[in-house]
């Protein structure tokens, strides 16, 4: 026996059926907004990450040297890849560019609840618009995707902030403050004690008193108070932009899910404006469900023309936890519309019925293992077949087949030429008159 590698998961048919239903919901919602699906490679040059984050990030990557001597890595996230794709065809692509994809990613990190080393995300991004409506559309898509899964405002909330509010407030302190380090501390604050959080802020350059003051100001989430404290052009513009996004989200139907939370920072350095994270309202899922925000400088940093961008990336592991806690996760079971059961030498007629039912878009199985009547019936039950069509030698000699409703156990004979006949989805009830 070979053991499964730690941090990687198997998905058996029942689990995969539920995952497929949830993925289809997210993707169908994206298509309804006009987002277009893209496909991206599993392998990229490791320099796409080391050039921006330093060589230390290699410890978090599944990276190696390939036979051509290139330093490559399994992709740990999608954003650099889509940035590369936009740069490659920037002049040809109609703006705004609206893309989505669902795929796996790989990070060598500690395995914990909702976090594996191989994980799946649905990424949804808009490139080419700096307007508040673009941010609001990302929020609206996320809200619609979650409610289409069966969730309500009792189950989730979006905590929304603006990076320039945090950066602008920090600029009012000593010039030696490392703003990026301080924002990373804010991003970790909900996982730390107050003392640990303040120590990180002090490590970023604030004094002890300033750390307390900053914590209270940001934790209060009062935009008017923030503007009064840091009455600068940067903070004023950021507060106005955040309010404009929330106003647009109101028109788009997503405002009710949004809560201003200036402690929401997003740890990645490439975020530039509005940022948000989705949380379980009940607090039962111990981490954010997913996050997103604006990253206006990334395309230019990859060698492209300045291109504003905003996006979000729900992770399917944490999303499943939220749906399971809320009781809306799809049933983890396979379903089958019809099982065509064969008794004796009836393959030609059984195959004809099977083909015609499949042509009408149904899920249909038939025997491919030469099993007995009882074994076939047990198998039909195991795959949750709704209707069993019994094509037996005696039935066909009488120009009939037997229709069995698997829920009730009722069955009856019907003329073989009438099945499936004119019915799009024939069941026992259609013939029980």
Whole-number pLDDT of residue 74 = 97
Answer with the one of 276, 298, 326 that is the final residue of a domain. 326
- Residue 348, domain CATH: 3.40.50.800
Which candidate, 294, 290, 267, 266, places its Cα nearest to that of 279?
A: 290
- Angle at CA of residue 55, ends 303 and 299, nearest 5°: 20
Residue 165 lies in a domain: yes
245 and 263 co-located in one domain: yes
The per-residue pLDDT for 411 is 94
Q: Is residue 216 part of a domain?
A: no
Residues 343 and 318 in one domain: no
Is 2 a known ligand-binding residue? no
- pLDDT, tens digit, 9 for 90 and up, residues 242-264: 999 999 999 999 999 999 999 88
Q: What is the CA radius of gyration of the chain?
A: 28
Instruction: Give me the pLDDT at residue 111, please.
Output: 86
Structural domain contains residue 278:
yes
Per-residue buried b or exposed e for 208-224, using 16+ beta carbons within 10 Å of the residue's own CB: eebbeebbebbeebebe
**The domain that contains 159 carries what CATH number?**
3.30.930.10
- pLDDT at residue 249, rounded to an integer: 97
Confidence at residue 267, expressed as pLDDT on a 0 to 100 scale: 61
Ligand-binding annotation for 197, yes or no, is no
Nearest to 102 by CA among 29, 158, 203, 44: 29
Range of the domain at 273: 13-40+75-172+232-326
**Is 107 labeled as ligand-binding?**
yes
Token readout for 48 is 């796409």
Please indicate, yes or no, if residue 46 is contained in any of the structural domains: no
121 annotated among ligand-binding-site residues: yes
Q: In 3-state terms, what secondary structure has residue 174?
A: coil
pLDDT attached to residue 266: 75
173 in a known ligand binding site: no
Claim to verify: residue 305 and residue 350 sit in the same structural domain: no
Q: Is 79 annotated as a binding residue?
A: yes
Q: Which domain-ending residue is among 295, 326, 357?
A: 326
| Res 115: pLDDT | 82
Same domain, residue pair 119 and 238: yes
Give strand ranges (E) for 22-65. Answer: 36-37, 43-45, 62-65
Q: What does pTM read for this prediction?
A: 0.90
Instruction: Please tell me the total count of domains within the chain.
Output: 2
Same domain, 122 and 18: yes
Residue ranges, the chain, pLDDT below 50: none
- Are the beta carbons of 352 and 370 closer than 8 angstroms? no
78 assigned ligand-binding residue? yes
* Of residues 394, 379, 388, the one with CA closest to residue 344: 394
415 and 272 within one domain: no
- At 332, phi and psi to the nearest 5? -90, 75
Cβ proximity of 339 and 380 under 8 Å? yes
- Does residue 206 fall inside a structural domain? no
Q: What strands lie across the sheet with 274-280, from one edge to the other?
A: 36-37, 97-106, 118-127, 309-312, 290-294, 274-280, 156-162, 258-260
Is 411 a domain residue?
yes
């Amino acid at each position: 026996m070979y053991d499964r590698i730690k941090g990687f998961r198997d998905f058996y048919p029942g689990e995969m059926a539920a995952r497929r239903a949830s993925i289809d919901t997210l993707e169908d919602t994206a298509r309804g907004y006009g987002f277009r699906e893209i496909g991206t490679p599993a392998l990229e040059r490791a320099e796409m990450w080391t050039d921006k984050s330093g060589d230390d990030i290699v410890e978090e990557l599944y990276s190696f040297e390939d036979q051509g001597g290139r330093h490559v890595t399994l992709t740990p996230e999608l954003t650099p890849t889509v940035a590369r794709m936009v740069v490659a065809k920037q002049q040809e692509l109609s703006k705004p560019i609206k893309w989505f994809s669902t795929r796996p990613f790989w990070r060598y990190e500690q395995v914990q609840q909702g976090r594996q080393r191989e994980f799946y995300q649905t990424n949804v991004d808009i490139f080419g618009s700096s307007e508040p409506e673009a941010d609001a559309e990302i929020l609206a898509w996320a809200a619609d995707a979650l409610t289409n899964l069966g969730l309500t405002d009792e189950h989730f909330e979006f905590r929304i902030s603006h990076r320039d509010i945090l950066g602008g407030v920090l600029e009012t302190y000593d010039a030696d403050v490392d703003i990026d380090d301080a924002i990373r501390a804010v991003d970790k604050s909900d996982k730390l004690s107050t003392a640990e959080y303040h120590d990180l802020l002090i490590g970023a350059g604030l004094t002890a008193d300033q750390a307390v003051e900053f914590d209270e100001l940001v934790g209060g989430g009062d935009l008017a108070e923030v503007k009064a404290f840091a009455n600068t052009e940067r903070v004023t513009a950021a507060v106005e932009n955040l309010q404009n996004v929330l106003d647009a989200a109101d028109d788009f139907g997503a405002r009710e899910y949004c809560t201003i939370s200036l402690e929401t920072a997003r740890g990645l350095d490439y975020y530039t404006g509005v940022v948000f994270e989705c949380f379980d309202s009940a607090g039962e899922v111990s981490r954010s469900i997913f996050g997103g925000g604006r990253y206006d400088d990334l395309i230019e940093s990859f060698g492209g023309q300045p291109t504003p961008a905003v996006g979000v990336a729900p992770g399917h592991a944490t999303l499943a936890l939220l749906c399971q806690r809320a009781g809306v996760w799809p049933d983890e079971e396979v379903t089958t519309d019809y099982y065509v059961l064969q008794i004796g030498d009836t393959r030609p007629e059984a195959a004809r019925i099977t083909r015609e039912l499949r042509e009408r878009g149904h899920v249909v199985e038939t025997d491919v293992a030469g099993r007995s009547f009882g074994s076939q019936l047990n198998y039909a039950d195991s795959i949750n077949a709704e209707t069993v069509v019994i094509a037996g030698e005696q039935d066909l000699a009488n120009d009939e087949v037997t229709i069995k409703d698997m829920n009730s156990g009722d069955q009856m004979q019907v003329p073989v030429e009438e099945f499936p006949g004119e019915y799009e989805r024939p069941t026992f009830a259609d013939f029980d008159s």
